[in-house]
């Protein structure tokens, strides 16, 4: 096995996030289901953006946020995702490279604009996402940088990208390259919307191509169409090497073979915005796993990153996660 140049290489939807505050009445007027993610077309993106309150724009996308978190921990991070050669696409590329992440996927030369996610956040911190994928879901197997994948300790696949057929084929290609090089493949289930839509294809892909699964409790229950957490976890456990399931304020549960670790959530004075909580948990957890740290430490790194991000607006860390982790004695 060759020496790694990166701890983590993520494949995901390259999206620019637009976050704005709202109340429940706004969600009702706009026909939005609180706490959900729905896909919209470009016309709906324009109309919804016009109705939203003033907010902030930041490069995002689930896997992109995770890579930003990994970089904040001091990790060696890389990203594969598709943007158009437009203003938002250039902003996204600049933002990724500015945090030290390797990101060299060629621009989409023609077709839809760079994707964006319109995120309305209620006072309780719940985020409701309406996403125009645009160029993001034009990723194909040809975009997979085989050398980058081979030289990364863990390949991380974003479940949101499972929708387009070409992107699913890209996942398969990337997983094949990773396993041929002796690397591990991780996937996040991303959202119950994703799981409900693609369960019949997603579960066989996990069984055949995935070593590590990250999910929240609702996604895990949806995957196996169960109502009991322990029953669903018992069904996932034998088909992957490692599973980490977040349970909001209850913390997370991590299993590997006969090992089970329960990690408490880090306390937060006030939940401001839950956008990116799962993405940052993945950043800490996977970086710890890539470096061979104990499962409990991996989970604590994930919980620490999640706590940092939900205490402020935006899906990416504002404080140095490496500094926070060092102060806690985790790295």
Contact 320, 290 (CB under 8 A): no
| Alpha helical stretches, state H, 5-137 | 24-29, 42-51, 62-72, 87-98
What pLDDT was estimated at residue 56?
Answer: 81
The pLDDT assigned to 58 comes to 81
pLDDT digits (tens), the chain, 331 positions: 667 899 999 999 999 888 899 999 999 999 999 998 888 998 999 899 899 999 888 888 899 999 999 999 999 999 999 999 988 899 899 999 999 999 999 999 888 989 999 999 999 989 899 999 999 989 999 999 999 999 999 999 999 888 889 999 999 999 999 999 999 999 999 989 899 999 999 999 999 999 999 999 999 999 999 999 999 999 999 999 999 999 988 999 999 999 999 999 999 998 888 888 999 999 999 999 999 999 999 999 999 999 999 999 888 999 999 999 999 999 8
- Which residues sit opposite 37 in a β-bridge? 129
Give pLDDT, residue 288: 98
Res 260: pLDDT: 97
Give the residue among 100, 84, 105 at the shortest CA–CA distance from 42: 84
> Do residues 82 and 14 touch, judged by C-beta distance below 8 A?
yes
- Buried/exposed 203-229: b ≥16 CB within 10 Å, e otherwise: bebbeebbbbbbbbbbbbbbbbeeeeb
CB-based contact 192:222 (threshold 8 Å): yes
First to last CA, the chain: 25
pLDDT at residue 272, as a whole number: 87
Res 87: pLDDT: 82
pLDDT recorded at residue 200: 94
Cα-atom radius of gyration of the chain, to the nearest Å? 18
| pTM for the full predicted model | 0.90
- Confidence (pLDDT) at 1: 61
């Amino acid at each position: 096995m060759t020496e790694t140049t990166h701890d983590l290489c993520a494949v995901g939807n390259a999206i620019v996030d637009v976050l704005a505050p709202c109340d429940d009445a706004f969600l009702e007027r706009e026909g939005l289901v609180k706490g959900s993610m729905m896909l919209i077309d470009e016309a709906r993106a324009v109309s919804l953006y016009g109705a939203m309150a003033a907010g902030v724009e930041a490069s995002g996308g689930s896997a992109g946020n995770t890579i930003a978190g990994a970089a904040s921990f001091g990790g060696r991070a890389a990203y594969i995702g598709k943007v158009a050669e437009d203003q938002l696409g250039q902003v996204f590329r600049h933002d990724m490279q500015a945090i030290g992440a390797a990101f060299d996927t060629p621009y989409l030369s023609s077709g839809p604009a760079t994707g964006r996610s319109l995120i309305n956040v209620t006072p309780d911190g719940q985020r409701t996402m309406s996403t125009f994928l645009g160029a993001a879901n034009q990723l194909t197997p040809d975009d997979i940088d085989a050398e980058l994948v081979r030289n990364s300790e863990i390949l991380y696949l974003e479940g949101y990208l499972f929708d387009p057929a070409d992107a699913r084929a890209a996942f398969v290609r990337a997983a094949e390259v990773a396993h041929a090089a002796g690397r591990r493949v991780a996937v996040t289930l991303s959202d119950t919307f994703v799981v409900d839509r693609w369960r019949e294809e997603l579960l066989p892909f996990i069984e055949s191509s995935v070593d590590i699964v990250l999910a929240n409790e609702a996604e895990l229950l949806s995957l196996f169409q169960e109502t009991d957490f322990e029953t669903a976890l018992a069904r996932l456990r034998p088909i992957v090497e490692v599973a980490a399931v977040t349970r909001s304020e209850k913390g997370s549960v991590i299993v590997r073979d006969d090992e089970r670790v329960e990690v408490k959530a880090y306390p937060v004075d006030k939940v401001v915005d839950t956008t990116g909580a799962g993405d940052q948990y993945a950043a800490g957890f996977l970086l710890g796993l890539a470096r061979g740290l104990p499962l409990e430490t991996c989970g604590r790194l994930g919980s620490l990153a999640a706590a940092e991000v939900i205490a402020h607006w935006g899906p990416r860390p504002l404080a140095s996660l490496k500094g926070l982790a060092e102060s806690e004695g985790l790295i």
